[in-house]
Amino acid sequence: MRSNRTRHLFVALASVAVLFAASVGPRDAAGQTPAGEPYKIGVTYPLSGPQGAWGQLLVPAMEIAVQHVNQAGGVSGRPLSLVIEDTKGNPEGAVSAMRKVVQVDRVAAILTIFTNVVSAQMPLADQLKVPLISPVEAPGLVAKSEWAFAHSPLLTRTLPLVSARWQRDKVKRLFAFFPNTPIAKFGSAIVKAEADKLGLQYEETLFKLGDTDFRGLITRAKNFNPDAIFIFGHGTPDEGVIMKQTRELGMNTQMYNGCACVTVKSYREAAGKAAEGVIYAGFKYDVGAARKLIDAYRGKLGFDPDYAGLEVYDMVFMIAEAIRKYGYGGDGIRRGLTEIKDFKSIGGGLVSMDKDRQSVVAVGLYQVKDVVKPEFVEISP
Amino acid sequence: MNTLQVLAIGLGLAGYYALVAVGFALIFATLRIFHIAHGTVFITGGYAFFLLHRVQGFGLILSGLLAIAAAALLGLAIDKAVYLPVLRRGGGLFSVFIASLGVSLIVEAGFLAYTKGVVSVARTDMLDILNAGPVAVRTLDLAVLAIVAVLYGLLYLWLHRTKVGLEVRGLTDNGSLAAVVGVNVDRTRTHIFLLASALAGIAGVLTAYDMGINPDSGSRTLFVAVVAVILGGLRNLLLGTLIGSVALGILTAYAGFFFPEWVTFGVFVTMILLILVRPQGLFG
Amino acid sequence: MEHLLYIGSLMCVWIIVSLAVNLVIGYAGMMAMGHAAYLGVGAYTAASLNIFLGVDYFSAMVIAALSGAVVAVLTLLPLLRLSGFYFALATLGLNFVFFDLFHNLAPRVEGSEGLHGLKLPALLTTADTRFMTTLVITAACILVATHLVGSPFGRLLRATRDRPEAVSAVGKNPTTCQVVVWGVSGALTGLAGALYAATLFYIDPTLFTLNASILMLVFVGVGGLASIAGSILGPVLLIAFTESLRFIGLPSQLLGPVQQGLYGALLIGLMIFRRQGLVGKHDFHE
């Protein structure tokens, strides 16, 4: 018995010694602080104005990404840094902001957002030879410029997951809401085609962004008496208000969303309890894979990042990788971005860039279980 | 076409318009001030309520009362700090109007900076609904109608049974004569701004609780209220404003149902037509 | 450097707009609160003609000016019988009416909210030539405006503003005067709209809201009513000031609200202390 106890003690002490040695062992190169003139990435985001919330929500995710890149040794030994300018969400501001970061601060690539802003910036990107990347979801938008990239889940990829569910739940009548913006044109075409394919009765309506009262439109939906309501927009809180007012007009129809917009805090807050049970398909958001980002973001802002936060986090890493491969310059970064294949997204899926500079991402189907915590559960189509 | 449902929605909206419009009408009728900044008083009430109740967690009634007080004080401050100085230095009513625009810009900029334009909704819970056939009515809608009825009743009593109310009516009928007869215009002015702003504040609180507000809500609600006032005319202030508000509520509800992208267009075309055809309103 | 040229081009555009607005508010005494509508008409006309019909941009600008004038006069006619305050309110209403028209009916380029992809002539493509061209056009507008206000018509205009009954007494029609100046104002604003589109490379309805009309009031109000110099001074000073805010470390997200708040404060300050503006010659007592 005495020898057993001694043996146990010896093993315990040895384990502790090994663990101790491992933790203070030689640091690998990844732990070294990057030094030198930082590689600057321009950020033209709305920080004020009606779209200002997006900037306030997404810029921190970019900053965390830069931090993580730098913590891992930077890019070829040099740190990354962001140069941020407010676009105010309108094209004039966007062009102004872009000119400043490119011509005054001399950045070699830009992170940007919103279809109308990107449309305004694309001719400038061509002229100034600066690649820009954004989470816009308008199909074919970035195909128009050799210098524009998009990292987002297209409706053509998310809708099949939702429509599989419609088939499963034997939906016969579908009503769709789109905002009164270009998204409606392509969104409607895609959804209508799907409805036709499944033989569903279909009706849709457009809502005005920034309105607070959608009950007139929802009454239209009530008249139609649908089995399913589909909402696809820009992920603004308006959609949350629509969900809430739908319930308040006495409709208990199952609601579906074409993007992971419920992950956005202001969206959830506008919807309140009405968002519970909503089924949506969007950017793959595996909580385990995104742990690093979630914890850092929670530390900064007090709540979890939304799906767009994951997208912009990826973008910073994509640009970093491009710089590593081809150097810091418009051409090099463009080449690097074009060649993205099987890039590991922070959300847990693999990403590749298609020939039109639109990223092809992993998507998932989820249901809102709890609005307050929040809690989203992945479900099968 | 679910006429009854749209009608129900319209009456609900009419309640908010009625509260904002009557304050605006009072100020315009008595002091001839086109108080565009009244819209910002409305959203201040709403935001104050949102901050106190949703963000800080204070109780419903307490937040509401404090928010209404904040709105009332803001309205009064605007008059004392902006309108009176303009008037005292020889500015006419148009100059006051421009100054009012200036106030709107400042207050809206403040809320824009703070909220980044995101809608602020003061509740998460679902409202109780009553289903009457094809129509769903929220208990909130009924409460709003009751509140409007009570407040209008009190306003009537105030205008016709109190001394201050008499003085206010005097100002409505003939401002300069009223001053000659000994009406304390300054004190009456204070009463008017406090009361009108409190009413707008109540509307703001209810709206924030109902559908939420964003920095645009102020001008949007205000302009509809203005059209309601033009429609109703100033001759019979309470009745005119009430009827104007109901008409605009129903108009905007129907417009929201049939052509939601043209609601603003519709409201302003109505305004222009009214100005051209019958600026004195229904009862003028 | 290119950034500065861009700011310069913007200043020129707003100088032309300020001239146009000052003509009607300062010289003619007509409270125009919705001129952004005409700016939009000019911008959309020029951009649409150029993008969809291939019209060369200089011709498109001329047509834009003409359409600005026509739309301005057409919208003025029903409002002529309105007195000062109701007139102002009606023009304000027009601003909103046109905004919805732009938003719902105006052409858009596939996939975006507005128009982009202008095919500009050489003189408008690179930043420095664009600035020079814009400057030349602006100078021409200043000359036209100066000539107009110095001419007998200009005196008639001021008389219409101050003593319309005297104008009728000498056998002239004040209304004709008002229509003409409003048309000229519309033409200048339409032209400015076309230049605006060329400077931004992109336009959409959000550029032509009530806020834009209020901006015009601020430029003219600060610079000075009934003053050509004021119409130049106002936009130059204010645009320079707000752009400089970007460089002194003001956080980018506060730039918009600060600018808006500042303009609000300026309006109030002007109305209390100096209604004629910096170098203005008319203090309106309404």
Least CB–CB distance from B105: residue in C90, C260, C275: C260
E-strand spans in chain B?
Answer: 129-132, 135-138
B211 in Cβ contact with A241 (< 8 Å): yes
How far is residue A378's CA from residue A375's CA, in Å, rounded to a whole number? 10
> With an 8 Å Cβ cutoff, are A248 and B121 in contact?
no
Q: Is C262 on the interface with A (CB under 8 A)?
A: no
Closest Cα in chain C to A95? C200
Which residues, other chains included, contact B196 with Cβ-Cβ below 8 Å and sequence gap of 6+? Answer: B22, B23, B24, B26, B27, B35, B38, B75
Give C-chain residues touching A52 at CB under 8 angstroms: 253, 256
DSSP letter for C83, please: -
Task: Give one word for A88, left, alpha or beta, with left for phi > 0 and alpha for psi -120 to 50.
Answer: left
A99 in Cβ contact with A328 (< 8 Å): no
pLDDT in tens, chain A (381 residues): 455 666 666 555 555 444 444 444 444 344 567 888 999 999 999 886 666 778 888 999 999 999 999 999 999 889 999 999 988 777 778 888 899 899 889 999 999 998 878 888 998 899 899 999 999 887 788 888 999 999 999 898 899 999 999 999 999 999 999 998 878 888 999 999 999 999 999 999 999 887 888 998 999 999 999 999 999 988 888 899 999 999 999 899 999 998 898 998 888 888 888 999 999 999 999 999 999 999 999 998 888 999 999 999 999 999 999 999 999 999 999 999 999 999 999 999 999 999 999 999 999 999 999 988 888 998 888
Q: Is pLDDT above 90 for B225?
A: yes
**Which chain A residues in 151-190 lie under 8 Å from chain C, judged by CB atoms?**
180-182, 185-186
How far is residue B72's CA from residue A192's CA, in Å, rounded to a whole number? 51
Give B-chain residues touching C78 at CB under 8 angstroms: 276
pLDDT tens-place string over residues C128-155: 899 999 999 999 999 999 999 999 999 9
Whether the bond between A374 and the residue before it is cis, its omega within 30 degrees of 0, is yes
Shortest CA gap A227–chain B (Å)? 17
> With an 8 Å Cβ cutoff, are A223 and B254 in contact?
no
What does each C-alpha distance from B69 to A267, B72, C12 come to in angstroms? 30, 5, 46
Q: In this structure, how many other beta carbons lie within 10 angstroms of the beta carbon of residue C123? A: 14
Cα angle A364, A368, A373; round to 5: 120
Amino acid at C73: V
At A365, which helix (H) or strand (E)?
A: strand A363-370
DSSP strand pairing (A132-134 vs A110-112)? parallel
Give A-chain residues touching B129 at CB under 8 angstroms: 248-250
The residue behind tokens 């992170």 is A111
Substitution target in C85, C267, C271 with the highest count of B β-carbons within 10 Å is C271
Q: In this structure, how many other beta carbons lie within 10 angstroms of the beta carbon of residue A264? A: 25
Shortest CA gap C237–chain A (Å)? 18
Shortest CA gap B31–chain C (Å)? 15
How many residues make up chain C in this entry?
286
Substitution target in A63, A86, A206 with the highest count of C β-carbons within 10 Å is A86
Q: Is C2 on the interface with A (CB under 8 A)?
A: yes
